[in-house]
Amino acid sequence: MASVTAAAPVRRAEAATAPSAAERGGRMAATAAIGGAWLIAVLAQLTGNAGALHHHALIEGGPPLWVALPLFLVAWQVMIAAMMLPASLPAVGVFSSPSRTRSRPRRALIAFFGAYGVVWTVFGVAAFMGDVALHHLVDATPWLGARSWLIEASVLGLAGAYQFMPLKRRGLAACRHPSGQLASTAGIEPGAAWYGFRHALECVASSWALMLLMFAAGFANLAWMAALAAVMAYESIGRHGERAALAAGVVLLGLAGLVVLTGWAPGFGAG
């Protein structure tokens, strides 16, 4: 009888620490999206269709802007799922706890991922439209057009320098400790959308420069996708994530210097 009594608190403790069905469901949904996105990226590369979705191909001699932008955003959603969701798995787990998804966990997850996607979509639109303006500038400036490596070096240097900025550290800290960023809100759907929106803003604060670098490299570049996804995931969930962010900054600044010295942009496509 005493052993049964003693085992009861242990079972309760195990139940308290074990992930709930909602938490497992949230992580499974995110993991499925990540796997599906990487499968699409690989298939697009193998079939030779990935290059057609590169921003340079869509802007220079490509379809009209009202067609090019939606095509780019299709590829952009794949990149966000493949590269940003791995770093957001801890936040998905925190959000999916029973206290946050008491009545309608599926609707809550849809609201969370929907708000998360909207924020990154706005960033993608801004990057694409900025690149349209940059292409016009290059076309109007022959000197810059003959030295496109300056743009590539600038993007690498910006991404590397941002790794040392205070805003990067604050955004990364929020991503690494998502439970501290979850405030109570009334209602499941409003709370879910609010948390997805806020978490996405934290991710943007932490990783916008790295994703801008990925934008420059293009959807067809699986090597850059894999490398940057690994960096951002380890920054957010790795034991030494803060140090990894600094190390990545050093590497990117070194690559920027290499481009300046040689004019060679490692792994970048045209544009």
Give the residue from 74, 82, 226, 255 showing the smallest Cα distance to 163: 255
| Statement: residue 66 has pLDDT above 80 | yes
Among the ranges 49-63, 93-107, 171-185, 224-238, which has the highest mean pLDDT value?
224-238
Higher pLDDT, 193 or 39: 39
| pLDDT level of residue 18 (50, 70, 90 thresholds) | low
Please indicate whether residue 266 or residue 245 has the higher confidence score (pLDDT).
245
Q: How confident is the model at residue 186 (pLDDT cuts 50, 70, 90)?
A: very low
Between 67 and 189, residue with greater pLDDT: 67
Give mean pLDDT, residues 215-226.
90
Over 60: is that where the pLDDT of 12 sits? no
Which one, of 36, 34, 44, 77, lies nearest residue 222 by Cα?
44
For the chain, what's the residue count? 271
Q: Determine the pLDDT at residue 22.
A: 63
pLDDT digits (tens, 9 = 90+) for 242-261: 999 999 999 999 999 999 99
Mean pLDDT calculated for residue range 123-150: 91
CB distance 119 to 200 below 8 Å: yes
Q: What is the pLDDT of residue 147?
A: 85
More confident residue, 99 or 72: 72
Query: In angstroms, rounded to a whole number, what is the distance separating the alpha carbons of residues 162 and 215?
Result: 16
Highest mean pLDDT among 24-28, 144-148, 234-238: 234-238
Query: If you average pLDDT over residues 39-50, what whole number do you get?
Result: 92
CA–CA distance from 106 to each of 75, 88, 96, 131 (Å)?
Answer: 25, 18, 10, 37
Q: Pick 46 or 179 by higher pLDDT.
A: 46
> What pLDDT was estimated at residue 167?
96
Predicted local distance difference test score (pLDDT) of residue 185: 45
pLDDT at residue 19, as a whole number? 59
Structural contact between residues 87 and 233, judged by C-beta atoms closer than 8 angstroms: yes
Q: Diameter of the chain by CA atoms?
A: 87
| 120 pLDDT above the threshold of 70 | yes
